[in-house]
């Protein structure tokens, strides 16, 4: 698939070890066999931070076991709010803009007993990556691992703060080191300033002549690829500030021009592995193939998404969508005769349910014929052994196009747009060789739908939405939509919704925080304009 992919046996071994790192509160080490019998033997002398890097990368792709963060935050909420997907399942509250406080808290994490104990970003991403940063500092044998961990820490926290706003950052994950168990909520503006500093410094400090981290499942320790990853992440962080602080955004974009990803070979992703079952399988696929409920049958591509692809004769349509994938709601076996013909693809409207109430029940919608006629993600996109994409060359080029159009920097918006759209089509071969769009076909699409600067920001960011939807990275679809306002989406209006019929702007804080970290939680809530609700905005989402 590409040169920087690990041998699958190595991935499986590392991810199993990493999962144990997550499941035990102490981390992981070289003499792994001891961990199950005597965890107290963990100490700085036998600690291998490479395993813990793997743990953090695995956690970023989704929680182990029930994948509540992926299921509830990425799919139930983000995918449907962004009209990438649609569901008629009653508990898919995001499709109807209804607050389910447990679901919006899922990405942050749970503190209850197993299976929810220790789930979520703070337990499975922040804690291990902070351990790597702390344990590798000023150790020459881990020089590059330390810098990669700093970049990973920024990657982890950008998503957390994008979802919730002001969050524990500077004091998060350091309880073991200085007994800070009740971290303050840092202001998002301060978090973003530090993310820019951390990624810039860490990327500059990476040195191909030094160590090649063995626990890196994105690039197998390829330092040159990590340099391009770091600069691409820096570009994304900077562009998130485009409407709240355009001067800072421009300054940082100019620093990375010419040093970001250069092709789809630079794409960062983590491959799933079915041998590890719920520990190592692809998280989105786990849910969308029915691993948690009946999402395989009752969750489909959104009408908004499919209609857009059809309106421009997008060649991705026949690669990412099929009808008749599941023949009824009683089976989770995929139909080998599923239909990928672009002409028959049909998205399901958002804001519908399975009731017999006119205007609400899906069977009353004019688009309804049979349920199986609605389009599902194609089998190539939902393989349990498939990739979870982290950051891609196509994103880099489309962000550079945005910067060029918005600020007049970073080169030609039209050139970056073409490169971004072509890459967003050809990268699909990294899901499966048959899913890729040929480069000539992709270029022909751009020729038929040429860049128009008058409508440039809409075109660029609508293509970004198509890309992130096809990546199944709906977190990023939501963040970029909030930043740019594109594509223009028509909200659904469902009875009893929590937003007065507007698309949510952030996730409220977990209710657990009110009892666990009371003073800091109360201070954070008090500082949110509009209150701790779905309709309030994070700092960079300037109105």
- DSSP for 288-356, please give it: HTTSSSSHHHHEEEBHHHHHHHHHTT-TTHHHHEEBSSSSSTT--SPPTT-B--GGG--PBPSS-BSSS
Integer CA distances (angstroms), 498 to 100, 102, 164, 257, 485, in order = 10, 15, 17, 42, 21
Contacts (Cβ under 8 Å, ≥6 apart) of 61? 270, 282, 283, 388, 390
Q: Is the pLDDT of residue 24 over 60?
A: no
Enter the tokens of residue 473. 């990275």
Average pLDDT over residues 400-410: 98
Per-residue pLDDT of 89-110, as tens digits, reads 999 999 999 999 999 999 999 7
The sign of the CA dihedral 321, 323, 329, 330 is negative
Q: Is the pLDDT of residue 37 over 80?
A: no
β strands within 218-367, DSSP E: 268-271, 299-301, 321-322
pLDDT value at residue 175: 87
pLDDT value at residue 381: 98
Q: Note whether residue 364 is domain-resident.
A: yes
pTM of the model: 0.93
Per-residue pLDDT of 428-461, as tens digits, reads 999 999 999 999 999 999 999 999 999 999 999 9
pLDDT value at residue 118: 58
Q: Is the pLDDT of residue 469 over 60?
A: yes
Is 319 in contact with 108 (CB distance < 8 Å)?
A: no
Question: For the chain, what percent of residues have pLDDT higher than 90?
Answer: 85
Would you state the torsion angle of the CA atoms of residues 9, 15, 18, 22, taken in this order, to the nearest 10 degrees? -160
Average pLDDT over residues 30-38: 29
Q: Which domain holds residue 373?
A: 290-382
Q: How far apart are the first and last CA of the chain?
A: 43
Would you state the torsion angle of the CA atoms of residues 398, 403, 406, 412, taken in this order, to the nearest 10 degrees? -80
Q: Which residue has the tokens 């009892």?
A: 515
Average pLDDT over residues 477-481: 99
Q: Which of 130-134, 275-279, 317-321, 514-518 has the lowest mean pLDDT?
A: 275-279
Would you state the torsion angle of the CA atoms of residues 459, 465, 469, 474, taken in this order, to the nearest 10 degrees? 180
Per-residue pLDDT of 491-506, as tens digits, reads 999 999 999 999 999 9
Question: By CB neighbour count within 10 A (0-12 exposed, 13-18 middle, 19+ buried), where does 366 fall?
Answer: exposed
Q: Note whether residue 387 is domain-resident.
A: no
Q: Note whether residue 448 is domain-resident.
A: no
Q: Note whether residue 181 is domain-resident.
A: no
pLDDT value at residue 46: 66
Q: Note whether residue 94 is domain-resident.
A: no
Which pairs count as long-range contacts for 251-255, CB under 8 Å and 24+ apart, including other chains?
Answer: 252/196, 252/200, 253/400, 253/403, 253/407, 253/409, 253/410, 254/409, 254/410, 255/200
pLDDT value at residue 63: 86
pLDDT value at residue 529: 95
Enter the tokens of residue 74. 């990425």
Average pLDDT over residues 344-356: 98
Strands 268-271, 387-391: pairing is: antiparallel
Enter the tokens of residue 23. 């499941």
Per-residue pLDDT of 265-322, as tens digits, reads 999 999 999 888 888 999 999 999 999 899 999 999 999 999 999 999 999 999 999 9
Q: Is the pLDDT of residue 35 over 80?
A: no
pLDDT value at residue 26: 34
Q: What is the mean pLDDT of the chain?
A: 92
Q: Note whether residue 25 is domain-resident.
A: no
Confidence tier at 14 by pLDDT (50, 70, 90):
low
Q: Is the pLDDT of residue 360 over 70?
A: yes
Is 423 in contact with 416 (CB distance < 8 Å)?
A: no
Average pLDDT over residues 511-515: 93
Collapsed DSSP state (helix, strand, coil) of residue 391 = strand
Distance between CA 318 and CA 131 in Å, rounded?
A: 44
Phi, psi at 349, each rounded to 5°: -60, 145
Q: Note whether residue 363 is domain-resident.
A: yes
Enter the tokens of residue 209. 């002549």
pLDDT value at residue 271: 97
Enter the tokens of residue 372. 């199986």
pLDDT value at residue 119: 80
Length of the chain: 543
Question: For the chain, what percent of residues have pLDDT higher than 70?
Answer: 90
Q: Note whether residue 190 is domain-resident.
A: no
Distance between CA 77 and CA 92 in Å, rounded?
A: 7
Residue 335 gets which letter from DSSP? P
Collapsed DSSP state (helix, strand, coil) of residue 41 = helix
Q: How many domains does the chain have?
A: 1
Distance between CA 202 and CA 70 in Å, rounded?
A: 28
pLDDT value at residue 10: 53
Question: By CB neighbour count within 10 A (0-12 exposed, 13-18 middle, 19+ buried), where does 309 fall?
Answer: buried
Contacts (Cβ under 8 Å, ≥6 apart) of 56? 124, 125, 128, 129, 132, 149, 152, 156
pLDDT value at residue 18: 53
pLDDT value at residue 13: 55
Per-residue pLDDT of 229-238, as tens digits, reads 999 999 999 9
């Amino acid at each position: 698939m590409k040169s920087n992919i690990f041998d699958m046996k190595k991935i499986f071994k590392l991810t199993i070890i990493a999962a144990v790192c997550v499941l035990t509160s102490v981390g992981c080490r070289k003499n792994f066999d001891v961990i199950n019998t005597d965890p107290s033997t963990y100490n700085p002398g036998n600690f291998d931070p490479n395993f813990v890097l793997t743990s953090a990368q695995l956690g970023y792709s989704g929680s182990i076991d029930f994948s509540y963060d992926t299921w509830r935050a990425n799919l139930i909420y983000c995918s449907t709010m962004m009209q990438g997907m649609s569901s008629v399942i009653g508990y898919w509250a995001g499709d109807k803009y209804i607050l389910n406080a447990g679901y919006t808290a899922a990405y942050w994490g749970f503190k209850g007993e197993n299976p929810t104990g220790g789930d979520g970003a703070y337990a499975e991403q922040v804690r291990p990556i902070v351990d790597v940063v702390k344990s590798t500092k000023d150790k020459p044998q881990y020089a590059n691992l330390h810098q990669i961990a700093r970049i990973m820490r920024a990657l982890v926290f950008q998503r957390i703060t994008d979802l919730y706003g002001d969050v524990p950052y500077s004091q998060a994950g350091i309880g073991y080191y200085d007994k800070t168990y009740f971290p303050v909520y840092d202001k998002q503006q301060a978090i973003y300033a530090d993310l820019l500093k951390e990624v810039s410094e860490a990327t500059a400090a990476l040195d191909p002549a030094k160590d090649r981290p063995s626990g890196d499942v994105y690039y197998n320790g390829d330092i040159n690829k990590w340099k391009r990853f770091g600069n691409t992440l820096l570009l994304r962080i900077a562009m998130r500030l485009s409407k709240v602080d355009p001067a800072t955004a421009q300054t940082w974009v100019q620093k990375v021009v010419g040093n970001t990803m250069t092709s789809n070979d630079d794409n960062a992703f983590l491959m799933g592995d079915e041998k590890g079952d719920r520990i190592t399988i692809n998280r989105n696929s786990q849910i969308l193939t029915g691993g948690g409920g009946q999402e395989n049958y009752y969750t489909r591509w959104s009408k908004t998404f499919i209609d857009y692809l059809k309106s421009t004769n997008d060649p991705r349509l026949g690669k990412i969508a099929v009808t008749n994938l599941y023949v009824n709601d009683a089976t989770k076996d995929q139909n080998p005769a599923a239909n990928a013909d672009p002409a028959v693809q049909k998205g399901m409207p958002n804001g519908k349910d399975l009731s017999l109430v006119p205007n609400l029940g899906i069977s009353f919608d004019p688009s309804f014929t049979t349920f199986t006629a609605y389009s599902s993600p194609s089998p190539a996109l939902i393989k349990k052994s498939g990739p979870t994409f982290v950051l891609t060359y196509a994103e880099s080029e489309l962000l550079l196009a945005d910067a060029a159009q918005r600020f007049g920097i970073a080169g030609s918006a039209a050139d970056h747009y073409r490169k971004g759209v072509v890459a967003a089509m050809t990268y699909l071969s990294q899901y499966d060789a048959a899913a890729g769009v040929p480069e000539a076909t992709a270029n022909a699409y751009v020729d038929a739908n040429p860049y128009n600067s008058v409508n440039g920001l809409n075109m660029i960011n609508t293509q970004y939405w198509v890309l992130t939807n096809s990546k199944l990275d709906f977190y990023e679809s939501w963040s970029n939509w909030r930043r740019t306002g594109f594509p223009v989406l028509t909200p659904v209006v469902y009875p009893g919704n929590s937003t007065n019929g507007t698309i949510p702007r952030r996730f409220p804080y977990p209710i657990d925080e009110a009892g666990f970290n009371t003073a800091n939680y109360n201070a954070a809530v008090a500082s949110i304009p509009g209150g701790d609700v779905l309709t309030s905005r994070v700092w960079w989402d300037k109105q």
